[in-house]
Amino acid sequence: MESMRTRFGNPVVSVVAGIAIGLLLGLVWAYVVAPVEWSDAAPSHLREDLQTDYLRMTIDSFARTNDVTTAQRRWLEMGPTGPAALQALESNPGNVTIVEIEFFRAAVIAPLGAAEPGDVDPGGTPIWLWVLCVGVLVLGLVILLTYLFRRGPVADTSAAMHAQEATRQAERTDYVSMGESPPISQFMTTYMLGDDLFDDSFSVDSAAGEFLGECGVGIAETAGPGEPKRVNAFEVWLFDKNDIQTITKVVMSESAYHDVTTHDRLSAKGDPVLAEVDRPVILETAKLRLSARIVDLMYGDDPMLPENSYFNQVTLELAIWAK
């Protein structure tokens, strides 16, 4: 049912939900489906004593083979841990001599010049790959921000907060003092200009807590382009679990109600009703009766639109009786 739909059109909500779902799936994949298995770790990932042993074997191998290319590759693979390992090795040469160490320094390390061990990523990942990844992330962020700004503001949260305060201050009808039976449910809701996602729904329960149905109010149509939306009609609906349909009436602004085209178009959503303070809008189903009363109504003023085209503020009271 359209009136009972959940609104997922908010792009911010969609982005946050997408990120959360993506992270969750990524964690499940990384730690459950295909956990990372480390192999062929670089020498820079070894303990300090093992790094010294690795350098000792490198120098010993170079002393036997004089293979400068292989020795330089092994030295660079030690990354920024190389100088510390070399210093430790000079303090404890083991099976290599000081002469072999100095020869390694002169023949292998010195020719590298500016290419110090720290120039190579300790994990073996090329620097250009990291630059590419950062570039992709920045591009994605720019695209996301551009999308959000082009969409414009989704909702004025301050308007929704002011609407909640107006709802708290609104006085409910005392039906008992009017000689009527008390309703089984009684709700208040307020729309204010800027609350573009206004869509309130309430559960209707019996005194014993039995679920009987639902009711609510949502935006039916807006007048003119731009932000915030100029709401000119609301859907008031009632769902009865014992009935086979949802009853809907459309509460329209004065301009919309008297405009033949708008009146006819909105009548497809429900019976059109002119918005008037204290004039009850009655909806009846097989087992429920709802009285929607406008407690407070203020129109907006836009010189580009006809007079009384859209609502600046509307407070409604929904009272439900069991039949």
Give the integer Cα–Cα distance in Å for 141 and 298: 41
Single-letter amino acid, residue 156: D
Q: Are strands 199-205 and 211-222 parallel, antiparallel or unpaired?
A: antiparallel
Per-residue pLDDT, 121: 44
Give the integer Cα–Cα distance in Å for 269 and 265: 8
Q: Is the dihedral of CA 64, 70, 71, 77 positive or negative?
A: negative
- List the end-to-end C-alpha distance of the chain, in Å, as a whole number: 23
Helix (H) or strand (E) holding 314: strand 311-322
Q: Select from 313, 270, 307, 269 the least CA-distant residue to 294.
A: 313
Single-letter amino acid, residue 255: S
Domain residues of the chain, as ranges?
38-152, 157-322
Residues in the chain: 323
Helix (H) or strand (E) holding 254: helix 254-258
More confident residue, 291 or 226: 291
Asked whether residue 108 carries a pLDDT value surpassing 60, the answer given is: yes
Give the integer Cα–Cα distance in Å for 267 and 270: 5
Asked whether residue 2 carries a pLDDT value surpassing 60, the answer given is: no
pTM for the structure as a whole: 0.53
pLDDT tens profile 159-198: 888 888 888 999 899 999 999 999 999 999 999 999 999 9
Per-residue pLDDT, 11: 53
Helix (H, G, I), strand (E, B) or coil at 154: coil
Q: Are strands 246-252 and 271-274 parallel, antiparallel or unpaired?
A: parallel
Give the integer Cα–Cα distance in Å for 259 and 305: 13
Give the integer Cα–Cα distance in Å for 124 and 131: 14
Contact yes or no for 124/42 (Cβ under 8 A)? yes
Contacts of 29 (CB under 8 A, 6+ apart): none
